[in-house]
Amino acid sequence: MIEVESYEESIQNPTKRAIENQNEFRQPGAIKVALAKFFNALIFVFVGEGSGMAYNKLTGNAPNSHSGLVAAAVAHGFGLFVAVSISANISGGHVNPSITFGLFLGGNISLFRGILYIIAQLLGFVVACLLLWFSTDGLGPSCDIYTRLPS
């Protein structure tokens, strides 16, 4: 529970709150939340990009159809739903690092915790892409702009 005095001080001086605790990296709660952010980002990218890769594989890289775009949107929606629902009570459930940066700018999280969250999210994105690459035997991304641009 936040004490009333520290809460009022943080409202009056959000910069002090944002940088005051440099030992947050070592707290078990911060590591638990960072792991939640990691798996949150991993699930979202794996499901979303995996559905796009599967669509391209099934259609032989055919031009996008309306049903294919709807299927990709639904897959991204389900991926986001699962990612947010498994981590909402642990880390707030946001997947995008820009939202983490906005929370830091708003004074809701400290600088060190924000850096930890962003690193965990970016690592989750990279690991999801590597898992997709290994599991599909090197299949390319679903939005290969060089092959889809008109010549």
Q: How far apart, in whole angstroms, are the C-alpha atoms of residue 107 and residue 110?
A: 7
CA 63, 68, 70, 71 dihedral sign is negative
What residues have CB less than 8 Å from 108, skipping those under 6 apart? none
Q: How far apart, in whole angstroms, are the C-alpha atoms of residue 141 and residue 138?
A: 9
Torsion angle of the four alpha carbons 19, 23, 24, 27, in this order, in degrees rounded to the nearest 10: -170
Determine the angle formed by the axes of helices 66-91 and 28-59, rounding to 10 degrees. 170
CATH number of 4-148: 1.20.1080.10
Whether residue 1 is predicted with pLDDT greater than 60 in this model: the reply is no
DSSP state of 133: H
Q: What is the pLDDT of residue 18?
A: 55
Residue 115 token pair? 């850096």
Task: Give the residue-averaged pLDDT of 114-140.
Answer: 88
Angle, CA 135 vertex, CA 74 and CA 77 arms, to 5° = 15
Q: Please say whether the beta carbons of 70 and 95 come within 8 A.
A: no
Q: Which of 11-15, 39-43, 69-73 has the lowest mean pLDDT?
A: 11-15
Question: What residues does each domain of the chain span?
Answer: 4-148
Q: Mind listing the pLDDT tens digit for each residue in 92-110?
A: 888 889 998 998 888 888 8
pTM of the model: 0.75
Give me the amino acid identity at 6.
S
Whether residue 118 is predicted with pLDDT greater than 90 in this model: the reply is yes
